[in-house]
Amino acid sequence: MTTLIMGIVNVTPDSFSDGGRFVDPDTAIAHGLWLRSEGANLLDVGGESTRPGAERVAPRVEQERVLPVVQALAEAGVVVSIDTMNASTALAAVDAGARIVNDVSGGLADPDLLSAVATTTAELVLGHWRGPSADMYARAEYGDVVREVMRELAERVDAAAAAGIPPGRLIVDPGIGFGKKGAQNWDVLRALPRVIGLGHRVLVGTSRKRFLAELLSADVDGDGVSEMRRDLATAVTSVLAADAGAWAVRVHDVIATRDALDVASSWWRPHAGDQGSE
């Protein structure tokens, strides 16, 4: 299986990594097209930051940010995912051309989202989530993080099925960084084969997240770790996720991840008859 690359297009003023860079629709559209040229297989467009501590955004504001971008990218032939926790935004984005709804809350933030997506042909990403970004770390209490994440993901899958969404349209995301502290994220990543064993495609998003910066820095919060170093760490975790069988990885730096996956692919599957020329 070839692991796909989902490029991130944040149309927000306050995302943790690139907030404000692409809040203008034309700039966001150009960035999305550039990510596709760099090797992204699909693009995830979001109008509400889910960084730690972020406050919710009204659906009307979210839609004003994302719909022009979704429509333009879809018309350009891009496979678009809408990153939203709101049912109304999901429906509007699908009408504008989005083919995937990526809900980091797994349908918990808006009780109407699952039934809304069921009325469309869109695929749905169900993220593992324990509550709003404003206090997500307060909920990072686990007896066995892997067992509990898998159980809670399975519950969201069951809820989606009950809402009328066929299993073939579902994708699960273990929610790296969401309601999980440093070491807990590594525990879940090591258990990716078990998550894949749930029987659904798996999306993994580690890009530039705090747990990577904490690993790379003596600074407890990792604030001093450069974007370049975070992207390198992201590329490594993306390769490891691909090796575990992830369907797709969600990243900011597409070219670094594309290069890393291409190198890993050549390492894992050498071509018969190659002479190993330098």
Which residues are annotated as catalytic? 209, 250
Helix (H) or strand (E) holding 6: strand 4-10
Query: Residue 21 corresponds to which tokens in the numbers above?
Result: 């860079």
Residue 81 in 3-state DSSP?
strand
Beta bridge partners of 174: none
CA distance 222 to 214: 5
CA angle 239, 209, 243 (to 5 degrees): 15
Contacts for 176 with CB less than 8 Å, ≥ 6 apart: 185, 188, 189, 204, 205, 206, 209, 211
Per-residue CA distances from 63 to 42, 45, 102, 124 (Å): 20, 11, 15, 18
Does residue 202 contact residue 246 with C-beta atoms inside 8 Å?
yes
